[in-house]
Protein backbone atom coordinates (compact mmCIF):
# COMPACT_ATOMS: atom_id res chain seq x y z
CA UNK A 1 0.00 0.00 0.00
CA UNK A 2 1.37 3.40 -0.95
CA UNK A 3 0.16 6.76 0.28
CA UNK A 4 -1.25 9.08 -2.35
CA UNK A 5 -1.23 12.85 -2.28
CA UNK A 6 -4.36 14.50 -0.96
CA UNK A 7 -4.96 11.88 1.70
CA UNK A 8 -6.36 9.14 -0.53
CA UNK A 9 -5.13 5.57 -0.27
CA UNK A 10 -3.49 4.01 -3.28
CA UNK A 11 -4.10 0.27 -3.26
CA UNK A 12 -1.96 -2.50 -4.70
CA UNK A 13 -4.64 -4.03 -6.88
CA UNK A 14 -2.70 -7.00 -8.23
CA UNK A 15 -2.02 -8.72 -4.92
CA UNK A 16 -4.62 -11.40 -5.63
CA UNK A 17 -2.88 -12.29 -8.90
CA UNK A 18 0.72 -12.34 -7.73
CA UNK A 19 0.32 -15.52 -5.69
CA UNK A 20 -0.32 -17.52 -8.84
CA UNK A 21 2.21 -15.79 -11.05
CA UNK A 22 4.81 -18.15 -12.50
CA UNK A 23 8.34 -17.48 -11.30
CA UNK A 24 10.12 -20.17 -13.33
CA UNK A 25 11.01 -19.91 -16.99
CA UNK A 26 10.75 -23.43 -18.44
CA UNK A 27 11.38 -24.13 -22.07
CA UNK A 28 8.94 -25.99 -24.21
CA UNK A 29 9.33 -28.25 -27.20
CA UNK A 30 8.27 -26.22 -30.21
CA UNK A 31 8.19 -27.06 -33.92
CA UNK A 32 10.68 -25.18 -36.05
CA UNK A 33 7.86 -23.31 -37.76
CA UNK A 34 6.43 -21.82 -34.57
CA UNK A 35 6.56 -18.10 -33.92
CA UNK A 36 6.77 -16.36 -30.54
CA UNK A 37 3.39 -15.64 -29.05
CA UNK A 38 2.63 -11.92 -28.90
CA UNK A 39 -1.17 -11.77 -29.06
CA UNK A 40 -1.37 -8.84 -26.71
CA UNK A 41 -4.26 -6.57 -25.92
CA UNK A 42 -4.97 -3.70 -28.26
CA UNK A 43 -5.98 -0.99 -25.83
CA UNK A 44 -8.96 1.05 -26.93
CA UNK A 45 -9.14 3.76 -24.29
CA UNK A 46 -10.93 6.47 -26.29
CA UNK A 47 -9.14 9.74 -26.89
CA UNK A 48 -10.77 12.50 -28.84
CA UNK A 49 -11.44 16.16 -28.27
CA UNK A 50 -14.71 16.00 -30.21
CA UNK A 51 -17.84 16.57 -28.12
CA UNK A 52 -19.69 13.39 -27.19
CA UNK A 53 -23.37 12.70 -26.86
CA UNK A 54 -23.14 11.35 -23.31
CA UNK A 55 -25.25 13.24 -20.81
CA UNK A 56 -25.36 12.85 -17.06
CA UNK A 57 -27.76 14.13 -14.46
CA UNK A 58 -27.80 17.88 -13.81
CA UNK A 59 -25.16 18.96 -11.32
CA UNK A 60 -24.47 21.88 -9.04
CA UNK A 61 -21.02 22.78 -7.66
CA UNK A 62 -21.77 20.60 -4.62
CA UNK A 63 -24.00 17.83 -5.95
CA UNK A 64 -23.87 15.02 -8.50
CA UNK A 65 -26.90 12.80 -8.93
CA UNK A 66 -25.62 9.24 -9.23
CA UNK A 67 -27.94 6.71 -10.91
CA UNK A 68 -29.26 4.16 -8.43
CA UNK A 69 -27.80 1.22 -10.37
CA UNK A 70 -24.36 2.82 -10.88
CA UNK A 71 -21.17 1.99 -8.94
CA UNK A 72 -19.68 5.02 -7.20
CA UNK A 73 -15.88 4.94 -7.27
CA UNK A 74 -15.59 7.81 -4.80
CA UNK A 75 -15.84 11.61 -4.84
CA UNK A 76 -19.13 11.30 -6.83
CA UNK A 77 -17.35 9.68 -9.78
CA UNK A 78 -19.25 6.62 -10.96
CA UNK A 79 -19.47 3.81 -13.50
CA UNK A 80 -22.99 3.39 -14.90
CA UNK A 81 -24.58 -0.03 -14.98
CA UNK A 82 -23.72 -2.15 -18.02
CA UNK A 83 -25.55 -5.41 -18.69
CA UNK A 84 -22.44 -7.53 -19.38
CA UNK A 85 -20.35 -6.21 -16.45
CA UNK A 86 -19.87 -7.86 -13.07
CA UNK A 87 -18.49 -5.77 -10.21
CA UNK A 88 -16.25 -7.02 -7.41
CA UNK A 89 -14.28 -5.35 -4.63
CA UNK A 90 -14.63 -2.08 -2.82
CA UNK A 91 -12.16 0.69 -3.70
CA UNK A 92 -10.63 -0.44 -5.94
CA UNK A 93 -13.40 -2.08 -7.92
CA UNK A 94 -12.92 -4.73 -10.60
CA UNK A 95 -15.32 -4.65 -13.55
CA UNK A 96 -15.24 -7.85 -15.62
CA UNK A 97 -16.97 -8.14 -18.96
CA UNK A 98 -18.73 -11.52 -19.02
CA UNK A 99 -18.76 -11.56 -22.83
CA UNK A 100 -15.11 -10.66 -23.56
CA UNK A 101 -13.32 -11.73 -20.36
CA UNK A 102 -11.60 -8.34 -20.12
CA UNK A 103 -11.24 -6.91 -16.61
CA UNK A 104 -10.84 -3.27 -15.61
CA UNK A 105 -9.67 -2.24 -12.14
CA UNK A 106 -10.83 1.28 -11.25
CA UNK A 107 -10.33 3.67 -8.37
CA UNK A 108 -10.53 7.42 -7.82
CA UNK A 109 -7.81 9.38 -6.02
CA UNK A 110 -7.48 12.94 -4.80
CA UNK A 111 -4.01 13.86 -6.08
CA UNK A 112 -2.08 17.13 -6.10
CA UNK A 113 -3.33 19.56 -8.72
CA UNK A 114 -0.78 20.17 -11.47
CA UNK A 115 0.97 16.82 -10.95
CA UNK A 116 2.83 15.11 -13.79
CA UNK A 117 0.49 12.24 -14.81
CA UNK A 118 3.58 10.07 -15.33
CA UNK A 119 4.03 10.10 -11.55
CA UNK A 120 0.64 8.47 -10.97
CA UNK A 121 1.20 5.96 -13.78
CA UNK A 122 4.55 4.97 -12.27
CA UNK A 123 3.15 4.74 -8.75
CA UNK A 124 0.50 2.30 -9.89
CA UNK A 125 2.96 0.26 -11.97
CA UNK A 126 5.21 -0.05 -8.91
CA UNK A 127 2.42 -1.93 -7.10
CA UNK A 128 2.64 -4.96 -9.42
CA UNK A 129 5.89 -4.68 -11.39
CA UNK A 130 7.87 -6.95 -9.06
CA UNK A 131 5.18 -9.64 -8.86
CA UNK A 132 5.88 -11.07 -12.31
CA UNK A 133 9.05 -12.64 -13.75
CA UNK A 134 9.08 -10.61 -16.98
CA UNK A 135 7.20 -7.50 -18.17
CA UNK A 136 7.50 -5.16 -21.13
CA UNK A 137 6.21 -1.57 -21.11
CA UNK A 138 5.60 1.01 -23.78
CA UNK A 139 6.51 4.64 -23.23
CA UNK A 140 3.65 6.67 -21.82
CA UNK A 141 1.29 8.65 -23.99
CA UNK A 142 0.20 11.94 -22.42
CA UNK A 143 -2.60 13.70 -24.28
CA UNK A 144 -3.60 17.33 -24.29
CA UNK A 145 -6.47 18.51 -22.06
CA UNK A 146 -9.92 18.01 -23.53
CA UNK A 147 -10.29 14.24 -23.27
CA UNK A 148 -13.64 13.28 -24.84
CA UNK A 149 -14.50 16.97 -25.13
CA UNK A 150 -14.19 17.79 -21.40
CA UNK A 151 -11.80 20.72 -21.10
CA UNK A 152 -10.93 20.06 -17.44
CA UNK A 153 -9.60 16.48 -17.87
CA UNK A 154 -6.69 14.84 -19.70
CA UNK A 155 -5.68 11.23 -20.42
CA UNK A 156 -2.31 9.48 -20.00
CA UNK A 157 -1.62 5.77 -20.48
CA UNK A 158 1.03 3.04 -20.61
CA UNK A 159 0.62 -0.40 -22.20
CA UNK A 160 2.25 -3.48 -20.70
CA UNK A 161 2.75 -7.16 -21.47
CA UNK A 162 2.98 -9.87 -18.80
CA UNK A 163 4.94 -13.03 -19.57
CA UNK A 164 3.07 -16.33 -19.30
CA UNK A 165 5.19 -19.42 -18.53
CA UNK A 166 2.47 -21.73 -19.89
CA UNK A 167 3.34 -21.84 -23.59
CA UNK A 168 -0.21 -22.83 -24.49
CA UNK A 169 -1.32 -19.39 -23.29
CA UNK A 170 -0.68 -16.01 -24.89
CA UNK A 171 1.15 -13.37 -22.93
CA UNK A 172 -1.28 -11.07 -21.13
CA UNK A 173 -1.50 -7.53 -22.44
CA UNK A 174 -3.01 -4.55 -20.74
CA UNK A 175 -2.82 -0.84 -20.08
CA UNK A 176 -2.68 1.44 -17.08
CA UNK A 177 -4.40 4.75 -17.69
CA UNK A 178 -5.14 7.84 -15.66
CA UNK A 179 -7.80 10.44 -16.37
CA UNK A 180 -6.73 13.54 -14.45
CA UNK A 181 -8.83 16.60 -13.64
CA UNK A 182 -7.25 20.03 -13.30
CA UNK A 183 -7.81 20.08 -9.52
CA UNK A 184 -6.07 16.70 -9.06
CA UNK A 185 -9.10 14.40 -8.86
CA UNK A 186 -8.09 11.34 -10.90
CA UNK A 187 -9.39 8.01 -12.17
CA UNK A 188 -6.81 5.20 -12.25
CA UNK A 189 -7.69 2.31 -14.57
CA UNK A 190 -5.99 -1.00 -15.32
CA UNK A 191 -7.37 -2.95 -18.30
CA UNK A 192 -6.14 -6.48 -19.00
CA UNK A 193 -7.24 -9.76 -20.53
CA UNK A 194 -7.64 -11.50 -23.90
CA UNK A 195 -6.47 -9.66 -27.02
CA UNK A 196 -8.49 -7.15 -29.01
CA UNK A 197 -11.50 -6.91 -26.70
CA UNK A 198 -12.83 -4.36 -24.23
CA UNK A 199 -14.40 -4.27 -20.79
CA UNK A 200 -16.29 -0.99 -20.46
CA UNK A 201 -18.27 0.00 -23.53
CA UNK A 202 -17.50 3.36 -25.12
CA UNK A 203 -20.74 4.75 -23.70
CA UNK A 204 -19.95 3.51 -20.18
CA UNK A 205 -16.41 4.88 -20.32
CA UNK A 206 -17.62 8.27 -21.56
CA UNK A 207 -20.21 8.58 -18.83
CA UNK A 208 -17.57 7.71 -16.22
CA UNK A 209 -15.29 10.45 -17.57
CA UNK A 210 -18.24 12.86 -17.67
CA UNK A 211 -18.91 12.17 -13.99
CA UNK A 212 -15.26 12.96 -13.20
CA UNK A 213 -15.51 16.22 -15.12
CA UNK A 214 -18.69 17.21 -13.27
CA UNK A 215 -17.92 15.91 -9.77
CA UNK A 216 -17.67 18.47 -6.93
CA UNK A 217 -14.39 20.34 -6.68
CA UNK A 218 -11.69 18.97 -4.37
CA UNK A 219 -9.57 22.13 -4.48
CA UNK A 220 -8.24 24.87 -6.70
CA UNK A 221 -7.37 24.03 -10.29
CA UNK A 222 -3.72 24.31 -11.31
CA UNK A 223 -1.99 24.73 -14.67
CA UNK A 224 -1.41 21.47 -16.50
CA UNK A 225 2.01 19.90 -16.04
CA UNK A 226 3.98 20.01 -19.34
CA UNK A 227 4.29 16.22 -19.38
CA UNK A 228 6.32 14.27 -21.94
CA UNK A 229 6.32 10.57 -22.88
CA UNK A 230 8.35 8.49 -20.44
CA UNK A 231 9.27 4.82 -20.22
CA UNK A 232 8.26 3.47 -16.79
CA UNK A 233 11.04 2.28 -14.52
CA UNK A 234 11.01 -1.41 -13.62
CA UNK A 235 12.76 -3.87 -11.33
CA UNK A 236 13.27 -6.14 -14.35
CA UNK A 237 16.49 -6.19 -16.35
CA UNK A 238 16.63 -4.21 -19.58
CA UNK A 239 19.28 -2.67 -21.82
CA UNK A 240 19.30 0.45 -24.01
CA UNK A 241 18.96 0.02 -27.75
CA UNK A 242 21.73 1.28 -30.06
CA UNK A 243 19.45 3.64 -31.98
CA UNK A 244 17.21 6.62 -31.07
CA UNK A 245 14.16 5.46 -29.11
CA UNK A 246 12.52 5.82 -25.71
CA UNK A 247 12.26 2.02 -25.56
CA UNK A 248 14.60 -0.42 -23.84
CA UNK A 249 15.04 -4.10 -24.62
CA UNK A 250 13.56 -6.16 -21.78
CA UNK A 251 15.80 -9.11 -20.89
CA UNK A 252 14.22 -12.44 -20.02
CA UNK A 253 15.94 -14.31 -17.17
CA UNK A 254 19.18 -15.86 -18.42
CA UNK A 255 19.63 -13.45 -21.33
CA UNK A 256 22.50 -10.98 -21.51
CA UNK A 257 24.12 -8.83 -24.16
CA UNK A 258 26.29 -11.03 -26.39
CA UNK A 259 27.32 -8.43 -28.97
CA UNK A 260 26.71 -4.81 -29.89
CA UNK A 261 28.04 -3.00 -32.93
CA UNK A 262 26.74 0.05 -34.76
CA UNK A 263 22.93 -0.12 -34.89
CA UNK A 264 22.76 -3.81 -33.92
CA UNK A 265 22.43 -5.46 -30.53
CA UNK A 266 22.31 -9.22 -29.83
CA UNK A 267 21.23 -10.85 -26.58
CA UNK A 268 21.54 -14.56 -25.79
CA UNK A 269 20.94 -17.18 -23.11
CA UNK A 270 23.45 -19.60 -24.63
CA UNK A 271 20.93 -21.63 -26.61
CA UNK A 272 18.76 -18.88 -28.08
CA UNK A 273 19.67 -15.44 -29.33
CA UNK A 274 17.73 -12.38 -30.43
CA UNK A 275 19.15 -9.44 -32.36
CA UNK A 276 17.76 -6.05 -33.39
CA UNK A 277 19.12 -3.87 -36.21
CA UNK A 278 17.92 -0.45 -37.34
CA UNK A 279 18.10 0.28 -41.09
CA UNK A 280 17.67 3.39 -43.26
CA UNK A 281 16.69 4.30 -46.85
CA UNK A 282 13.91 1.74 -47.26
CA UNK A 283 11.04 3.22 -49.24
CA UNK A 284 8.60 0.30 -49.38
CA UNK A 285 7.78 -2.74 -47.27
CA UNK A 286 9.28 -4.88 -50.06
CA UNK A 287 12.53 -2.92 -49.66
CA UNK A 288 12.35 -3.63 -45.94
CA UNK A 289 11.83 -7.39 -46.31
CA UNK A 290 14.69 -7.61 -48.82
CA UNK A 291 16.91 -5.73 -46.37
CA UNK A 292 15.81 -8.09 -43.58
CA UNK A 293 16.95 -11.09 -45.64
CA UNK A 294 20.30 -9.41 -46.35
CA UNK A 295 20.71 -8.71 -42.63
CA UNK A 296 19.89 -12.32 -41.81
CA UNK A 297 22.32 -13.72 -44.38
CA UNK A 298 25.15 -11.38 -43.41
CA UNK A 299 25.51 -12.91 -39.96
CA UNK A 300 25.20 -16.66 -40.58
CA UNK A 301 24.88 -19.37 -43.27
CA UNK A 302 21.17 -19.52 -44.14
CA UNK A 303 19.84 -22.64 -45.81
CA UNK A 304 16.23 -21.59 -46.39
CA UNK A 305 13.91 -18.67 -45.68
CA UNK A 306 10.15 -19.00 -45.97
CA UNK A 307 7.98 -16.36 -47.62
CA UNK A 308 7.22 -13.37 -45.43
CA UNK A 309 3.70 -13.04 -44.04
CA UNK A 310 2.04 -10.02 -42.46
CA UNK A 311 2.02 -9.69 -38.67
CA UNK A 312 -1.10 -7.62 -38.06
CA UNK A 313 -0.63 -7.16 -34.33
CA UNK A 314 1.60 -4.09 -34.57
CA UNK A 315 1.01 -0.40 -35.27
CA UNK A 316 3.55 -0.13 -38.10
CA UNK A 317 3.53 -2.60 -41.03
CA UNK A 318 5.30 -5.75 -39.85
CA UNK A 319 6.36 -8.88 -41.75
CA UNK A 320 7.77 -12.14 -40.45
CA UNK A 321 9.26 -15.37 -41.80
CA UNK A 322 10.81 -18.63 -40.60
CA UNK A 323 14.35 -19.58 -41.56
CA UNK A 324 16.86 -22.39 -41.03
CA UNK A 325 20.60 -22.63 -41.42
CA UNK A 326 23.87 -23.34 -39.65
CA UNK A 327 25.53 -21.51 -36.76
CA UNK A 328 29.16 -20.41 -36.91
CA UNK A 329 30.27 -23.63 -35.16
CA UNK A 330 28.36 -25.87 -37.56
CA UNK A 331 25.33 -26.52 -35.34
CA UNK A 332 22.03 -26.64 -37.25
CA UNK A 333 19.77 -23.76 -36.22
CA UNK A 334 16.24 -22.54 -36.86
CA UNK A 335 14.67 -19.20 -36.23
CA UNK A 336 12.43 -16.33 -37.22
CA UNK A 337 13.03 -12.95 -38.82
CA UNK A 338 10.76 -9.92 -38.47
CA UNK A 339 10.88 -6.46 -39.98
CA UNK A 340 8.90 -3.39 -38.89
CA UNK A 341 8.80 -0.59 -41.48
CA UNK A 342 8.16 3.15 -41.12
CA UNK A 343 7.39 4.32 -44.67
CA UNK A 344 7.17 7.98 -43.66
CA UNK A 345 10.82 7.97 -42.54
CA UNK A 346 12.14 5.16 -44.72
CA UNK A 347 13.41 3.33 -41.64
CA UNK A 348 13.00 -0.20 -40.32
CA UNK A 349 13.94 -2.46 -37.42
CA UNK A 350 14.88 -6.07 -38.14
CA UNK A 351 14.68 -8.71 -35.40
CA UNK A 352 16.27 -12.15 -35.79
CA UNK A 353 15.69 -15.07 -33.41
CA UNK A 354 18.09 -18.02 -33.56
CA UNK A 355 17.54 -21.37 -31.81
CA UNK A 356 20.30 -23.97 -31.41
CA UNK A 357 17.90 -26.64 -30.08
CA UNK A 358 14.29 -27.64 -30.64
CA UNK A 359 13.30 -26.23 -27.24
CA UNK A 360 12.78 -22.55 -26.55
CA UNK A 361 10.45 -20.24 -24.68
CA UNK A 362 8.44 -18.41 -27.32
CA UNK A 363 6.61 -16.24 -24.80
CA UNK A 364 9.90 -14.88 -23.45
CA UNK A 365 10.93 -13.93 -26.96
CA UNK A 366 7.52 -12.37 -27.54
CA UNK A 367 7.92 -10.07 -24.52
CA UNK A 368 11.44 -9.05 -25.55
CA UNK A 369 10.34 -8.25 -29.11
CA UNK A 370 7.29 -6.32 -27.97
CA UNK A 371 9.42 -4.27 -25.56
CA UNK A 372 11.09 -2.84 -28.67
CA UNK A 373 8.21 -2.20 -31.05
CA UNK A 374 4.78 -3.01 -29.61
CA UNK A 375 2.53 -0.01 -30.44
CA UNK A 376 5.54 1.80 -31.90
CA UNK A 377 4.23 4.61 -34.13
CA UNK A 378 7.51 5.71 -35.73
CA UNK A 379 11.15 4.66 -36.14
CA UNK A 380 13.40 7.69 -35.80
Secondary structure letter of residue 256 according to DSSP: E
What is the helix (H) or strand (E) element at residue 182, kind and residue range?
A: none
Query: How far, in Å, CA of 182 to CA of 153, rounded?
Result: 6
> pLDDT tens for residues 246-280?
999 999 999 999 999 999 999 999 999 999 999 99
Question: What Rg do the C-alpha atoms of the chain give, in angstroms?
Answer: 23
Q: How confident is the model at residue 198 (pLDDT cuts 50, 70, 90)?
A: confident
> pLDDT tens for residues 5-64?
222 334 433 323 223 222 222 222 232 222 333 333 333 344 433 333 333 444 444 557
Lowest-confidence segment of 35-39, 75-79, 334-338, 360-364 by average pLDDT? 35-39
The domain spans of the chain are: 2-214, 238-373
Query: How far, in Å, CA of 171 to CA of 163, rounded?
Result: 5
CATH of domain 238-373: 3.40.1000.10
pTM for this prediction: 0.82
Query: How far, in Å, CA of 116 to CA of 360, rounded?
Result: 41
Q: How far is Cα of residue 69 from the mean position of the Cα atoms in its chain?
A: 32
Q: Answer yes or no: is pLDDT of 219 > 80.
A: yes
What are residue 106's DSSP bridge partners? 93, 189
Q: Is 235 helix (H, G, I), strand (E, B) or coil?
A: coil
Exposed/middle/buried for residue 66 (C-beta within 10 Å: 0-12, 13-18, 19+): middle
Amino acid sequence: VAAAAGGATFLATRGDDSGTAQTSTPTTVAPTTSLPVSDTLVITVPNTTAPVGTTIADTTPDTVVIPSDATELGYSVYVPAQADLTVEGDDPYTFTNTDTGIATILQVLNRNAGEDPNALLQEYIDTFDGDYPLIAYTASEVFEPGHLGFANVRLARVSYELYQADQSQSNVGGAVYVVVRDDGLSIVGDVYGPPEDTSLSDETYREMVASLSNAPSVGDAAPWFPASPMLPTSVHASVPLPFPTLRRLSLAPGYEVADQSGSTITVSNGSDSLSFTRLDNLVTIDDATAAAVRTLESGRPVGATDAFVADNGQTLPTMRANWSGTDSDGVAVTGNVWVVHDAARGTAIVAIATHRTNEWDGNQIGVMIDSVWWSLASID
